[in-house]
Structure 1
Amino acid sequence: MPNSTLPNLPSAIANPITEDDIADYLANTPDFFERHADMLAAIQLTSPHSQRAVSLQERQANMLREKIKLLELRIMEMIRNVNDNTALSDRLLHWARTLFLNTDPATLPELMVAELADQFAVPQVGIKVWGVDAAYADAAFAKGVSEDARLFASSLTEPYCGVNTGLEAINWLPDPKAVASLAILPLRAGPIGSTAPAFGLLVLASPDAQRFNSTMGTDFLARIAELASAALSPLR
């Protein structure tokens, strides 16, 4: 009976060359296409924009144009962000200047609310301040705050942003039923993150559920809270 075992085959047949072997060879032999320059002109690739075959040079040119287009879009986005940030900073400075030029502490909370709504296009703004001097104890901004709300304010180490869950602070706004999202800014002596007890809350609200969503950054709101806290110090 003949032996069914295959004879020893040449290594090239027993171990065929794979695409990875070819890619590895070309990657490690940079002068290959210098010695075979005619192959570059003969290589045909499928265009990503159609089914027609294009040369390697044309495909590389298309890839380069796409990269340039992406870079241009990123640059334009950076320019827009710079312009937006500049405009935002200008509005913040205008708001702060208005507050510090005010000479009547009793009107300061109302002015603060009105200017925030105007400068930053916030549909509804509310404020409460407690622990004020006796001269301001009967003002609307100093009344109607529960002990729970005060404890909640002191527990915030940074501005809170999220959907309307029926917090007490909603009732300080002109139209609580129209609130879909809000930002609550604790007011305290010291920077945001301080453990000092809060002496007030500033509430920004919108009918847009995404205006003050829980994933947004709060650095800018923190600066507003710090400026507001400093401006309100004459009330205490």
Structure 2
Amino acid sequence: MKFSSEEVAQYLRQHPEFFEEYADMLAEIQVPHPHGGRAIPISERQIVALRDKNRILQDKLGELIRFGEENSAITEKMHRLAVALLSFSHLADFLHGLNFHLREDFSVPHTALRLWNRSTEGPALPELAPVSPDVHVLAEGLSHPYCGPHILDEIRSWFGEEDAARLRSFAKVALRTDQVAGLLVMGSEDPQRFYVNMGTVYLTQLGELVSAALARFTQAEG
């Protein structure tokens, strides 16, 4: 009578005493090495399996540690940005400081920002230049940040002709308090820097932070 592999496995699960009764026999059984090569005893095979599992667990632990360190670094950068933005008393300085921190702290060298329904004293700022209805509609429709390769030609032009031609991926973040009041766009020459379906938790927090800080200037300079 021939038993299937599943029947043998089921029998051994139901009769663990088998391993005590036939301990000597088990020590003599040779099985293929999991990584190829010579046959090895079952006991050595178990040791190899445990080592493999341990290596996998170590890799996962290392990955979790790396993620934790990366998240901690981003949190620290967000804190520095918040402190910096709260220190500015003029909109022009605020916009310059935002661009500086995104470039130096977050390694985003290409940023563009447009604000609407506000005015400011002093020289005209490009960030306050009028935008088309299409941009308004796009910003209104951003319930969460967009990441990917697609962007309106009008928005691409905000980066300047030379830089715009090199950009391959974008992150678009609507700025809102009671209503949408602007659009922050970050661009990269790397197609995978801002990719579709990437996590947007920190981009959402960035948008909320910039929006809240900008609200001060609505009262002070608007």
How high is the TM-score relative to the length of structure 2? 0.90
SS in 1 for 2:190: coil
The yes-or-no answer on 1:181 pairing with 2:169 is yes
Following TM superposition, by how much is the alpha carbon of 1:136 offset from its aligned partner in structure 2, in angstroms? 6.9
Q: Which structure's CA Rg is the greater one?
A: 1
SS in 2 for 1:232: helix
SS in 1 for 2:196: coil
> 1: CA distance between counterparts of 2:132 and 2:123?
15
> 1: CA distance between counterparts of 2:15 and 2:138?
68
> 1: CA distance between counterparts of 2:5 and 2:205?
58
Output one character per residue of 1:82-132: Cα deviation in whole Å (capped at 9) or x when no partner: 111111111111111111011222322232122211110012011111001
Deviating more after overlay: 36-45 vs 53-62:
36-45
Following TM superposition, by how much is the alpha carbon of 1:235 offset from its aligned partner in structure 2, in angstroms? 2.9
Query: How many residues were matched structurally?
Result: 216
> 2: CA distance between counterparts of 1:106 and 1:48?
65
What amino acid sits opposite 1:186 in the alignment?
Answer: A
> 1: CA distance between counterparts of 2:106 and 2:12?
59
Following TM superposition, by how much is the alpha carbon of 1:134 offset from its aligned partner in structure 2, in angstroms? 5.5
Deviating more after overlay: 162-171 vs 55-64:
162-171
Partner of 2:148: 162
> 2: CA distance between counterparts of 1:22 and 1:80?
43
Following TM superposition, by how much is the alpha carbon of 1:146 offset from its aligned partner in structure 2, in angstroms? 1.1
Percent identity, please. Answer: 34
The yes-or-no answer on 1:203 pairing with 2:185 is yes
Query: 1:50 and 1:182, CA in 2 relative to 1: closer, same or farther beyond 3 A?
Result: same
> 1: CA distance between counterparts of 2:111 and 2:184?
7
Deviating more after overlay: 163-172 vs 135-144:
135-144
Output one character per residue of 1:142-193: Cα deviation in whole Å (capped at 9) or x when no partner: 113112211211111111111044442221113211110000110000xxxx
> 2: CA distance between counterparts of 1:93 and 1:110?
17
Alignment of 1:209-220 (within 5 A): 209-220=191-202
What amino acid sits opposite 1:211 in the alignment?
Answer: R
What amino acid sits opposite 2:9 in the alignment?
Answer: A
SS in 2 for 1:61: helix
The yes-or-no answer on 1:85 pairing with 2:67 is no
The yes-or-no answer on 1:101 pairing with 2:87 is yes
